[in-house]
Amino acid sequence: MVATPAHLLPSTSVLDNAEVLRIRNDFPALSQTVNGQPLIYLDSGATSQNPLSVIEAEQEFYEQRNAAVHRGAHHLAVEATDAFEDARQTVAVFIGANYEEIVWTSNATEGLNLISYALSNATLWAAQGRGEPRLKELAVGPGDEIVVTEMEHHANLIPWQELAFRTGATLRYIPIDGSGSLDLEQAAEIIGESTRVLAFTHASNVLGIINPVHKLVAMAREHNALVVLDACQSAPHLALDLKKLDVDFAVFSGHKMLAPTGIGVLYGKQELLDTLPPFLTGGSMITTVTMERAEYLPAPQRFEAGTQRISQAVALAAAVNYLSETGLDRIHAWESELGQRMVAGLERIEGVRVLGPAAGEERIGLAAFDVAGVHAHDVGQFLDARGIAVRVGHHCAQPLHRRLGLTATTRASAYLYNTTDDIDQFLDAVSGVRSYFRV
């Protein structure tokens, strides 16, 4: 097994620049230069970098135990299966879930589509008397409502639009107020007896705001609605206990939390996963097959058709161990400090509008902003010329940008390997954007 770096031994101390610089040494990609400048990577909200322990975990799998899981009795197949299922247990513990409640997906988007299609399949099965009697409780149809929010990433909006289209249900959304927060008074009016699903993001990938999960879940519980949590921007940064949050489903992606691309996680309460029909069908998820029909395994296998994402799952477990050993509370506290430094600095720059909570208010460690008179893509290229990597565009949240009167913004997002000097150099560069473009 890959040895744990000395600096990752359990610690109760707060992170500081000195320790972050040691952490940074674990990330090979961060040692390079870009356009002749040392790389300052502030795009972890899109994709994080990988530590050596994660890279080596995936490499070791391919070198030592590469084989199909659940399909062979030979030595490599047994070792591969053990590594694969151990990874599931590691992730389950990380988010306060049971082993059987973790479904591997390619990414969070697939997880959300899985839930959406499983619910429409529940409607079809229930109408034909197939499946468990309680499947009727999960059916969605005309007269039912699906509720999302105005700040959702497209991945947590379009699948619900399509579910409404397939079933005849109505899609509604909770608006944001002038500060970017969800309007909870309107939420209480919108979430009602007809609500079948409430889907919302834990932390906005544009606004940086952390939504009040407990309040929204309480509203849904009053009307027996299912709750789906997009945890893509929270799982990498906040200590999660999904049992305590009492959500029915949650999704997140490995590539935002130090793991490779191509691996995601769907959490679902076991009784719901065991009741819902599958989304993809084929090998590995069946008990009996005849030429007329098939019977399916219980969760999680019933949602994992075909060849598995084995090495990626093993690497995700290594990433989870890295985060756990560093300490999610320590990571969150450090990122909050960086986020506040970022927002406070941006607010002092003339012509810059920061989206989401103002300096001093709680947010995750990212900030999306608009520079008056300069397109976001030009801002991004200006920063890239100085070795600073940020995200530009609508961040897969066109309705939110439209609500804010914008077509695109620039977003900087910090992680456990960023220092205060990274933020200061970023702010210094942004302060020169308007003069460079002669605005």
CATH number, domain with residue 143: 3.40.640.10
Q: Tell me, yes or no, whether 178 and 136 share the same domain.
A: yes
Domains in the chain, number: 2
The reply to whether 159 and 206 lie within a common domain is: yes
3-state SS class at 281: coil
Please tell me whether residues 336 and 307 are part of one structural domain: no
Whether residue 22 is found in the same domain as residue 78: no
If asked whether residues 167 and 308 sit together in one domain, one would say yes
What is the reported pLDDT for 6? Answer: 39
- 3-state SS, residue 286: strand
Instruction: Choose one of 276, 309, 324: the last residue of a domain.
Output: 324
pLDDT of residue 5: 39
Residue 95: inside a domain, yes or no? Answer: yes
Question: What distance in Å separates the CA atoms of residue 351 and residue 382, rounded to the nearest whole number?
Answer: 16
What is the predicted pLDDT for the residue at 148? Answer: 98
pTM above 0.85, yes or no: yes
The answer to whether residues 121 and 232 belong to one domain is yes
Q: What is the DSSP letter of 365?
A: S
Q: If 0-12 CB within 10 Å is exposed, 13-18 middle and 19+ buried, where does residue 137 land?
A: middle
Written as tens digits, the pLDDT of the chain (439 aa) is: 334 433 334 455 889 999 999 999 999 999 999 999 999 999 999 999 999 999 999 999 999 999 999 887 899 999 999 999 999 999 999 999 999 999 999 999 999 999 999 999 999 999 998 988 889 999 999 999 999 999 999 999 999 999 999 999 999 999 999 889 999 999 999 999 999 999 999 999 999 999 999 999 999 999 999 999 999 999 999 999 999 999 999 999 999 999 999 999 999 999 999 999 999 999 989 999 999 999 999 999 999 999 999 999 999 999 999 999 999 999 999 999 999 999 999 999 999 999 999 999 999 999 999 999 999 999 999 999 999 999 999 999 999 999 999 999 999 999 999 999 999 999 999 999 999 999 8
CATH number for 404: 3.90.1150.10
Closest to 285 measured CA to CA, from 313, 314, 306:
306
- Verify that 192 and 258 share a domain, yes or no: yes
In a domain, 56, yes or no: no
364 belongs to a structural domain: yes
Give CA separation, 260 vs 52, 78, 81, 94, 168, in Å: 12, 23, 19, 17, 38
- Domain check: are 285 and 380 in the same one? no
Residue 38 to residue 51: CA distance in whole angstroms: 18
Residue 390: half-sphere exposure toward Cβ, Cα within 13 Å: 33
82 and 121 housed in the same domain: yes
The confidence score (pLDDT) of residue 11 equals: 52
Q: What is the pLDDT of residue 432?
A: 98
Residue at which a domain ends, from 324, 353, 370: 324
* 439, part of any domain: no
Beta strands 286-289 and 294-296, pairing class: antiparallel
The residues carrying an active-site annotation are 396
Same domain, yes or no: 141 and 201: yes
Range of the domain at 47: 6-51+328-434
